Amino acid sequence: MLSRRAFLLTAGGMAAAVTGTAGYTFLVEPEWLEMTAVDLPIRHLPAALAGCRLVHISDIHVCPSVADDYVRETFARVRAVAPDIVVVTGDLISHHVGEIAHAEAIYASLPRGRLGTFVSFGNHDYGPTWSSPAVASRLRGMLENLGVTVLVNAVATAGDVQIIGMGDLWAGQFAPERALARADPAAARLVLSHNPDSVDLPGWGRYDGWVLAGHTHGGQCKPPFLPPPVLPVQNKRYTSGAFTLSGGRQMYISRGVGTYLPVRFNVRPEVTVFRLSEAAPDGARARPAAL
């Protein structure tokens, strides 16, 4: 039979473990950013761009539950790697935040790429229930006034790489045929599409390049060695990292920088630093790289 002393020690140990785990989940991991380095082979990449750095940022979620100082420190770390191209794949704000002035104060320090800085929108950028184009319009105007290129079913060029930004799926803006019709299939191409489920929908035609996505936050919390129990996608395979798709496409899903609910466990926030290279004829798989 367990003695009173042993019981109290056991109970105390369990309480300390629970308190420590809760503190880590709420106070430590949500701001424990990882700068992930990955080689990104792209078909038709001009030789002059081999070795260039493309930084992928996603799901910043500027709002009261994501500390401004943390976001600014993240931006400073991105600037320190001297990116050639910066892309942001949506959810720059959280849907319940209607004050664009606060977001503008933060995004004034968004790091810029030497060859360009490009943003595609996510569901939160369209306000409550993802159904307020006026919110997205104000956000777009603010970013463009800061010199950032916003791509919604549109194409822009960064040093002979075509950046194709898709509209958000949940906001009803996803129109891949329209976006891809404006791109040159003989050029180096890269797609930004916030929601990974978008890659399973029709309309991609012969596009056979990379898709950079976010949205999932990697699940935010997951038990060790097990998949995350909650993912905001239909295809539960799409957690985070690199995926091989049909039609020769590849996708990389960022774990994101911020959160909507301020918790993370075993899913650290991420900024991905891609090193561009020419894809070999037999495929275009992402590989770990050194910063």
Residue 278 counted as domain residue: yes
Average pLDDT over residues 277-290: 73
Q: How many residues in total does the chain contain?
A: 291
Total number of domains constituting the chain: 1
Residue 19 counted as domain residue: no
Residue 75 counted as domain residue: yes
pLDDT band at 23 (very low <50, low <70, confident <90, very high): low
- Measured CA to CA in angstroms, residue 11 lies from 14, 220, 261 at distances of 5, 28, 29
Residue 81 counted as domain residue: yes
pLDDT band at 28 (very low <50, low <70, confident <90, very high): confident
Residue 235 counted as domain residue: yes
- Measured CA to CA in angstroms, residue 66 lies from 27, 60, 69, 100, 160 at distances of 11, 8, 9, 15, 35
- pLDDT digit string (tens) for 36-89? 999 999 999 999 999 999 999 999 999 998 999 999 999 999 999 999 999 999
- pLDDT digit string (tens) for 140-177? 999 999 999 999 999 999 999 999 999 999 999 999 99
Question: Which of 151, 152, 93 has its CA nearest to residue 124?
Answer: 93
Residue 272 counted as domain residue: yes
CATH of the domain at 178: 3.60.21.10
Residue range of the domain that includes 220: 32-288
pLDDT for 257 equals 98
- Measured CA to CA in angstroms, residue 289 lies from 83, 245, 276, 277 at distances of 15, 22, 11, 11
> Which is it for strands 149-150 and 287-288: parallel, antiparallel or unpaired?
unpaired
The amino acid that residue 12 corresponds to is G
Residue 173 counted as domain residue: yes
* CB distance 70 to 31 below 8 Å: yes
Check pLDDT > 90 for residue 285: no
pLDDT for 280 equals 80
- pLDDT digit string (tens) for 196-210? 999 999 999 999 999
* CB distance 34 to 270 below 8 Å: yes
pLDDT for 54 equals 98
User: Global pTM?
Assistant: 0.90
Check pLDDT > 80 for residue 291: no
CA 189 from chain center: how many Å? 18
Residue in the block written with tokens 């957690």: 239
Average pLDDT of the chain to the nearest whole number: 91
Check pLDDT > 80 for residue 19: no
Residue 4 counted as domain residue: no
Average pLDDT over residues 259-269: 93
